[in-house]
């Protein structure tokens, strides 16, 4: 369950409506009557309107995972990205204000968490 994204029914409704408007296919697994009010949504491939940040090269390497979906940008809720690769991870927190600025095309730079005694800077243009 570590790779699954759990959403409330309200969040699912908003995300699915935004995804349909963006032409994204949504795959629902485990849809049924449950007591938690959550729906499992499988990740989709990148679509128009998604934004990918550039991760700096620090400690002799870089990472992937600086991707924001169009739906996340439109929803405007704060998110956390997980940068992966090189045997460890970093996280990058993006606030509602950050997402609004990225969506508007403003350059935003954020410093990741520190892991293995270093951090990375992620730049969204």
CA atoms of 41 and 59, how far apart (whole Å): 35
**Which pLDDT tens digit goes with each residue over 19-57?**
665 544 445 444 444 444 444 444 445 567 899 999 999
Q: What band does 3 get if pLDDT is binned at 50, 70 and 90?
A: low
Q: What is the mean pLDDT of residues 105-109?
A: 95
Least confident piece of the model among 32-46, 58-72, 78-92: 32-46
**Beta-ladder partners of 52:** 67
pLDDT band, very low/low/confident/very high, at 14 (cuts 50, 70, 90): confident
**pTM for this structure?**
0.62
Alpha carbon distance 66, 7 (integer Å): 21
How far is CA 63 from each of CA 49, 53, 80, 99, 105, rounded to the nearest angstrom? Answer: 22, 11, 15, 20, 23
């Amino acid at each position: 369950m570590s790779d699954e994204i759990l959403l409330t029914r309200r969040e699912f409704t908003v995300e699915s409506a935004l995804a349909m408007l963006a032409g994204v296919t949504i795959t629902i697994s485990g849809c049924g009557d449950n007591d938690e009010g959550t729906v499992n949504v499988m990740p989709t491939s990148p679509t128009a309107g998604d934004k990918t940040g550039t991760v700096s090269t620090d400690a002799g390497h870089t990472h992937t995972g600086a991707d924001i979906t169009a739906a996340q940008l439109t929803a405007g809720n704060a998110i956390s990205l997980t940068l992966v690769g090189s045997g460890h991870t970093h996280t990058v927190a993006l606030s509602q204000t950050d997402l609004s600025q990225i969506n508007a095309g403003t350059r935003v730079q954020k410093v990741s968490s520190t892991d293995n005694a270093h951090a990375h800077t992620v730049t969204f243009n």
